[in-house]
Amino acid sequence: MVFFRTLFSFLRDKEYRDLLLTTGVTIAVGSVVYHYLEGWTWIDSIYFSVITLSTIGYGDFSPATVGGKLFTIFYIVIGIGIILSFINAIYSHYSKLIKNRQNNGGNS
């Protein structure tokens, strides 16, 4: 229940919604580029975008074209900052909710 309350309060805040939108657009742009440059399926393109920006990098996919490799360099530099900002915003928001709940004696 705490998860859903946190999620809904997160989505009510315009700053967080904008960051969520930016994250979604970043993953979408990467997915479209990989789909067309590398010829991957949509699911493979989305998967690679998420795995790359989360810095997990399993290595099961990698760009083979020069365009794909060049795009990946810029995608990582720009995208990791956006993804880390998103993760940090979620963590900060959740921490604030927990702290407020503790300060209010758990009556939230």
Whether 7 maps to a domain, the answer reads: no
Whether 5 maps to a domain, the answer reads: no
The verdict on pTM exceeding 0.95 is no
Is the pLDDT assigned to residue 94 strictly greater than 80?
Answer: no
Whether 3 maps to a domain, the answer reads: no
Q: How many domains does the chain have?
A: 1
Whether 80 maps to a domain, the answer reads: yes
Name the percent of the chain lying above pLDDT 70: 92
Whether 48 maps to a domain, the answer reads: yes
Helix H, strand E, coil C: the string for the chain is CHHHHHHHHHHHCHHHHHHHHHHHHHHHHHHHHHHHHHCCCHHHHHHHHHHHHCCCCCCCCCCCCHHHHHHHHHHHHHHHHHHHHHHHHHHHHHHHHHHHHHHCCCCC
Query: Of the given ranges (1-10, 11-20, 86-95), which has the lowest mean pLDDT?
Result: 1-10
Q: The domain spanning residue 77 has which CATH number?
A: 1.10.287.70
Over residues 56-84, mean pLDDT: 92
